[in-house]
Amino acid sequence: MNSNWQLPPDPFANDPNDPASFFEDDEPFPPLSDEERARMKQDLKLMREFRRVLAPKGVQGIFFYCEDCTEEHFYDWDIMEANMLSTLAEEQSAVHEPSPNPDPHNYVPWDYCLGYLDGIQQR
Ligand SMILES: [Zn+2]
């Protein structure tokens, strides 16, 4: 539902220097739905379990393939946790930056952690 028709015409509508265009890349931070919030809480719980069992083995965190950058991003456990907590608090994540100079050998994918946790729980 678009309510823009109620607004007066945009004086910059055909102006390539429209000041609003500078903000277009900054997507507004959407509020979490109840479902997303529940999933995030579950992920946070899992992530803390992963850290508990994997950190003593020298695993420093998780890596994700980022489709925006088309490269892998490495996140320390504590950075992951802070990101999740600020998402739950609906704050713009202040610590979105990947860990500096990660050693890829010390990071594992999320799915690996899930499988690892499954493995030790079935013992
Ligand atoms: Zn990225």
CA torsion 69-72-77-83 (nearest 10°) is 10
| pLDDT single digits (tens) 63-78 | 988 888 898 889 999 9
Local structure of residue 100 (DSSP, 8 states): S
Domain span including residue 76: 34-122
Task: Look at residue 16 and tell me if it is in a domain.
Answer: no
pLDDT at 31: 81
pLDDT at 26: 54
Task: Give dist(CA 107, CA 24) in Å, integer.
Answer: 34
| pLDDT single digits (tens) 51-62 | 999 999 999 999
* Ligand 1 center from residue 73 Cα (angstroms): 6
Task: Look at residue 116 and tell me if it is in a domain.
Answer: yes
* Ligand 1 center from residue 6 Cα (angstroms): 37
Task: Look at residue 9 and tell me if it is in a domain.
Answer: no
* Ligand 1 center from residue 65 Cα (angstroms): 8
pLDDT at 119: 94
Task: Look at residue 19 and tell me if it is in a domain.
Answer: no
Stretches in the chain below the pLDDT threshold 70: 1-29, 92-100, 123
Residue at 97: amino acid letter: E
Task: Look at residue 86 and tell me if it is in a domain.
Answer: yes
Q: How many domains does the chain have?
A: 1
Indicate the SS3 state at residue 24. coil
Cα radius of gyration (the chain): 20
